Structure 1
Amino acid sequence: MNDIYLDASATTPPHLDVITKLKDIQFECWGNPSSIHKVGVIAREILERSRLSIANKLKASSDELFFTSGATESNYLALKAVSNNLDRGRIVISSVEHPSINLIANQLRNEGWDIKYWPVDSYGIIDLDLLEEVLSPPTKLVSIIWGQSVIGSIQPINLIGMECKKRNILFHTDATQVLPCGLIDWSNLNVDMLSASAHKLQGPKGIGLLMLRKGIQDLLMKNPSYGFKNGSIRSGTESVPLIAGFSTAIDLLNEYIEVKDNQTLFPVNNVSKMTSLLKRKLINNKHLTFIGPDKERLPNNLSFLCHTEAMIPIKGREIVRLLSKHGVYISSGSACSSSSQGPNPILVAINVDKTFQESGLRITIGPWISNDDITSVSNIIFESLKSLELKKQ
């Protein structure tokens, strides 16, 4: 049996078209895009052509799109660079954010900002009953993850953005897990700043984007730190091959996500069909308890708690290691924190019983997965869980 990779939320294998583009640009257009001679001019033309292509696909203006090393840096810049240009106040983040947001939030707390966590329900969706409270003065900035990588929860970002706009509050969203599921219509989003990474959608590692509305750019220019000038938000030489590879990965996406006030509607495609098929095969497994929302969730995400038939918890890390021996690769949480011991912070946030907070598993499916893969995986998971049950008797 071939290896089966089911950890698309951690990273994805680069598409062959992306690899070809990287190779071609690396060999033929290796110049510094800031150089004014011919070699540099050619590199700059490819960079700006790639920027324009991505912007057009995302229905944005090319001057709203800035390249970074990835979503982690984009998240950092969105909160840090903007906060540097605002009077101290409150920053609101959800209790199910990516570790990179929590890291910069803690840093900003030490700099005098009040950090408030917006609680979520048992499905990982923010509690809208608290909207008036969390958006009251002195809230200046809100950062809410659009699609949660561990349990798949989708937040009502357009509704949040609309309420922030009414109160002149800046709004950032981390769209890292959403963009691989369909194209984003930036022109239709009530969002001031948006982060994403190429490697989550079969693009190259080391390149991401931060989308900024013109008003945010004007704000940043008051105190232009982090190299915010000449179409860049960070210092250093741009990587033209990575940017061109990112553009190629975006070109592989064809269908748009539909966003309404409190809904995100994803296109139906092979990924969503394979995810539904695997869920049907696993739903009656007595060793698994599915968690996260049924509808408002990423279409490639399955998340569950693992246990014996007698409901004795089985650590997710045990199962990840066992399945890896069988050539099946899944995760026990966010790739940026799954190597850490102890309870999964997302499971803590949704009030999973303490005895099960290390028992989470996540499967995230990519376009390379077939029906045969799904059949093989469901059988291997069943046999693996049964073998672990026997060991615990």
Structure 2
Amino acid sequence: MEGKRLVYMDHAATTYVKPEVLDAMMPYFTENFGNPSSIYTFSRKSKSAIEEAREKVAKAIGAKADEIYFTGGGSEADNWALKGIAFANKDKGNHIITTKIEHHAILHACEFLEKNGFEITYLNVDENGMISLDELERAITDKTILISIMFANNEIGTIEPIKEIGEIAKKRNIYFHTDAVQAVGNVKIDVKDMNIDLLSLAAHKFYGPKGVGALYIKKGVKIENLIHGGGQERKRRAGTENIPGIVGLGKAIELATSDIDSHNERIIKMRDRLLEGIMEKIPHTKLNGHPEKRLPGNINVSFRFIEGESLLLLLDQSGICASTGSACSSGSLDPSHVLLAIGLPHEIAHGSLRLSLGDATKEEDIDYVLEVLPKIVQRLRDMSPLYETFKHKGETINV
């Protein structure tokens, strides 16, 4: 990308590490390298750094420090929550409730559990990606041991009614886990007020390092270990701790949650300007996800008559990083399971684009995308036989 303009519009995929976060991490790569499990004085700096980070994570989500367990990322935290609850509570029941729009870390863990004798109910969502609380209540049986519903969707940005879900789970004495990987740093979270029993998060989504995350486990929750070995993380998660990563996670979550309101105000203003410009400049465009209850930096739109893969490649040639609603990167020809779940037909889901703004986004980036994107969409439509047919027939169109 040297010499070419770079506009990063994929903050939902990952974020850069903020300088303050990197500065906090650096000493634990070099001079403070002691193993926290060792008993000599030198290693106490490492141990203290981990506990300080634990306090910061707990404060950010309204938990207690001894309810925070560090993991290798969000996917590990999700797997631990589902498998740990399932196997520890199988004497009570074998039924788990989740949704059709979860991250694959949840969906594939559920598939694994189904092969091991557990029953999974996958809730539908409406056209905005919202679950029905009534459907959730109807899905509960006397065998239900866990409800796992994501806080905010990673593709379409829809924020689910988490507090209400927590109330239903508490009333029925069922554990409630939420994958909050996309929500932390973007939405205010209080696990006690929201009746959340388990919560997954990942540092690299809020300007921390990759390969480190955390699982909040409410005190008293009965859960099996996912990783066995030494006595780290109060004998719950074995393996020598990733001290620099944990320190970075602590600093990043402290920064991300210190002033969410003013941060979101800036991001939402740019997001709305970008969305309004796209809708105005590009006909036959549909917004995906809830129009109001959505992540501050998320835009997911579908353009009829084009393929997302081609769109991404041409955006990349113009220095714009984004993601698409079709799973080209995984080698699959199928469109996103999330877009299909909200009712989009295959041909429209294939032409979807996710733009996710963040701290690095500037007003001139919005201007640039609004200059480049309409030209690329028109270029692709001009090559589309479907668009040519549409123009000649003058069809009515819903998107």
The answer to whether TM tops 0.5 is: yes
How far has the Cα of 1:339 moved from its partner? 5.4
Query: Which amino acid in 1 is paired with 2:115?
Result: N
Match of 1:188, SS?
Answer: coil
Matched residue, 1:295:
292
Contact 2:74–2:181 (Cα < 8 Å) also in 1: yes
Report matched runs for 1:163-202 at 5 Å.
Answer: 163-202=168-207
Does structure 1 residue 137 correspond to structure 2 residue 138? no
Contact 2:302–2:352 (Cα < 8 Å) also in 1: yes
Unaligned runs of 5+ in 1: 258-264, 308-312
Distance in 1, Cα, partners of 2:135 & 2:331: 33
Identify which of 330, 337, 340 aligns with 2:332. 340
Change beyond 3 A, Cα 1:370–1:174: same
Distance in 2, Cα, partners of 1:24 & 1:322: 42
Contact 1:125–1:155 (Cα < 8 Å) also in 2: yes
Identify which of 355, 377, 389 aligns with 2:369. 377
Identify which of 377, 382, 386 aligns with 1:390. 382
Q: Deviations over 1:28-84 (max 9, x none)?
A: 211111111122222111111121122223322100100001110000000001111
How far has the Cα of 1:301 moved from its partner? 0.6
Does structure 1 residue 237 correspond to structure 2 residue 252? no
Query: Which amino acid in 2 is paired with 1:292?
Result: G
Identify which of 279, 285, 298 aligns with 1:283. 279
How far has the Cα of 1:213 moved from its partner? 0.4
Query: Which amino acid in 2 is paired with 1:187?
Result: K
Root-mean-square deviation over aligned CA pairs? 2.1
Greater shift, 163-172 or 37-46, is seen at: 37-46
Distance in 1, Cα, partners of 2:255 & 2:84: 32
How far has the Cα of 1:250 moved from its partner? 1.1
Query: Which amino acid in 1 is paired with 2:379?
Result: S
Query: Which amino acid in 2 is paired with 1:103?
Result: H
Aligned pairs, number: 377
Matched residue, 2:391:
none
Q: Deviations over 1:149-168 (max 9, x none)?
A: 11111110110110111111
Change beyond 3 A, Cα 1:282–1:77: same
Matched residue, 1:209:
214
Query: Which amino acid in 2 is paired with 1:332?
Result: T
Distance in 1, Cα, partners of 2:95 & 2:141: 9
Q: Deviations over 1:178-210 (max 9, x none)?
A: 113144223322110000100000100010010
Query: Which amino acid in 1 is paired with 2:76?
Result: E
Distance in 1, Cα, partners of 2:358 & 2:155: 15
How far has the Cα of 1:290 moved from its partner? 1.3
Q: Deviations over 1:204-232 (max 9, x none)?
A: 0010010010011xx23xx5563476535
Match of 2:273, SS?
Answer: helix
Distance in 1, Cα, partners of 2:226 & 2:373: 50
Match of 1:106, SS?
Answer: helix
Contact 1:206–1:242 (Cα < 8 Å) also in 2: yes
Matched residue, 1:116:
121
Does structure 1 residue 357 correspond to structure 2 residue 349? yes
Does structure 1 residue 34 correspond to structure 2 residue 37? yes
Match of 1:251, SS?
Answer: helix
Does structure 1 residue 101 correspond to structure 2 residue 102? no
Q: Deviations over 1:221-249 (max 9, x none)?
A: xx556347653532110011001111111
Matched residue, 1:310:
none
Report matched runs for 1:311-330 at 5 Å.
Answer: 313-330=305-322
Change beyond 3 A, Cα 1:3–1:247: same
Distance in 2, Cα, partners of 1:109 & 1:35: 41
Identify which of 83, 87, 90 aligns with 1:84. 87
Question: Identity of counterpart residues, as a percentage?
Answer: 33
Match of 2:355, SS?
Answer: strand
Distance in 1, Cα, partners of 2:327 & 2:169: 30
Q: Deviations over 1:15-37 (max 9, x none)?
A: 11122222222112111111111
Query: Which amino acid in 2 is paired with 1:45?
Result: S
**TM-score when normalising by structure 2:** 0.89
**TM-score when normalising by structure 1:** 0.90
Query: Which amino acid in 1 is paired with 2:288?
Result: I
Distance in 2, Cα, partners of 1:28 & 1:98: 38
Contact 1:182–1:255 (Cα < 8 Å) also in 2: no
Change beyond 3 A, Cα 1:297–1:322: same
Does structure 1 residue 126 correspond to structure 2 residue 131? yes
Distance in 2, Cα, partners of 1:230 & 1:386: 54
Distance in 2, Cα, partners of 1:16 & 1:6: 20
How far has the Cα of 1:174 moved from its partner? 0.4
Change beyond 3 A, Cα 1:335–1:61: farther
Query: Which amino acid in 1 is paired with 2:227?
Result: Y
